[in-house]
Amino acid sequence: MKVIKAVEDLNSAKHIILPFAQDTVDFELISQITGIQGKPDFQGKFKQINTLPSVDGTKVLYLVGLGTGKHLSERHEAFRWISHKRNRAWQDHITLYLDHLEEDDLYAAIYGLVLSKYDLGAYKTDDKTKNAFLNAEVECFVYSRHFNEELALEARAAARTVNAIKALVDAPANIKTPEYLANWAVDSAKRFGFSTKVFDKEMLEQGGFQALLAVGQGSRFEPRLIQMEYKPETDGDYPTLALVGKGITFDTGGLSIKPSDNMHHMKSDMGGAAAVLGTMELVAKLKLPIHLIGVVASAENAVDANSLKPGDIINSYSGKTIEVIDTDAEGRLVLADAINYAIKEFNPDKVIDLATLTGSAIGTLGYTAAAMFSNNEDMTDALLDIGYETHERVWQLPLFDDFKSDLHSDVADVRNYSGKPIAGAITAAKFLEVFTEDHPAWLHLDIAGVAFGSSSYAKMQCATGYGVRLLTEYIKSLS
């Protein structure tokens, strides 16, 4: 959106979005705007839409349902939905009538409208498939006594970043290589003010990132480790948070190959890396008071004569040896190197890693929440609350030591897979814990079920943008 500003009257408004919570519809207000007498068929149910032209033909009013209290955290979806359904008519500007709502609804409205600008068909060549609203910079005006320009601009910045990482996750693997992710990070850093360092294959070999190299050794696309760092412009005693993301740009499963039916979805196996990249960008945009580290371990898990084999024993950045039972449990291998590096190199106060790691997390929580594991109660409590507030929900699963035996290896320090068809997300988290150097504030999010999936806005499965708002709001809470 090109302009977001307050207006004091509706004289020049052509397209007016008027939202109401369920059963709070002000029919007198609707009549004042449209000149229509009576009560239209509208109750304010979540994502309900009713379009009303004014009597004099100068305006169109779009009634949008915000639902009940249980929909508070996802009200942005109501605004995204009205834009998805009605945006073809919005060629120049729209007006949000929010005078009767609270300031938080301003954020939800702008965030949802900008989310609707995401173009899943970016690689189509037929111009007729391009939506005018997607390409146009529509001006947005707000009629509200609660207008907060800073909040509106923050909402727009957040949504634009989320759209950018959705494009990353949805990009095909022949384009989105580890080098492509690294270049994306470098470009973002230059534009928004944080630093990057990219480890190529030679640097990874010199640095001892043996687990990351092992996963990528079967691919023609060399692995990369992407290190990012953001510091506030002013000196101060800021908390240090390290974010670590799994960046598998395509996952065949390696020699433990996946079934073919849904393998094309494995371009999304870098959803954790996308969340880290997006959070780095948004924090820098908002200039938040945090010392933020981002580490992304990126590789393609391909099938080749050089591929990692079940039964291989590999080394790792930590110095611990790993017996590879299943080459499709590769995400935890690259994370082992990245987590250990982030902790040893930066000694952060807190560490959070994110990964589309296990089908077990989906089996446990479906597509509604990320599986959360941590040894720090303050972090889990905060993420749980913020997850509800942002509708990027998490749910804690245990890290009981009972599961340590599943990682026992007779031939190496640890093995990467238990071989059991149970507790897969838990044993994966226990594996990562081995490489945390007993850090007292580490949290792992398995986002396999929430980073990519079915959508009301597409006919195919696609990226959700999960993690950016969750992490950014958590960072705000630290300061």
Catalytic option among 14, 197, 258, 404: 258
Find how far residue 238's CA is from the centre of its chain. 24
Q: Which of 61, 306, 96, 109 is nearest to 201 (CA)?
A: 306
Query: Catalytic residue among 86, 166, 246, 332, which?
Result: 332
Cβ atoms of residues 228 and 196 within 8 Å: yes
User: In 170-239, at which residue ranges do the beta strands (DSSP E only) sit?
Assistant: 195-199, 224-230
Residue 4 pairs in a beta bridge with 140
Amino acid at 58: T
| DSSP SS3 for 95 | strand
CB-based contact 323:238 (threshold 8 Å): no
H or E segment to which residue 63 belongs: strand 60-65
Catalytic residue status for 332: yes
In 3D space, the residue among 4, 310, 313, 23 whose CA is nearest the CA of residue 149 turns out to be: 4
**118 and 166 in contact (C-beta within 8 Å)?**
yes
Distance CA(363)–CA(372), nearest Å, equals 14
The yes-or-no answer on residue 393 being catalytic is: no
Which tokens go with 74?
């996802």
Sign for the CA dihedral angle at 123, 124, 127, 129 comes to: negative
Judge contact between 327 and 307, C-beta under 8 A.
yes
Q: Which residues on neighbouring strands pair with residue 240, listed in sequence order?
A: 291
What token pair was written down for 321?
């040896």
Residues 6+ apart with CB under 8 A from 209: 199, 225, 297, 317, 337, 341
401 vs 414: CA distance, rounded Å: 14
Catalytic residues: 258, 332
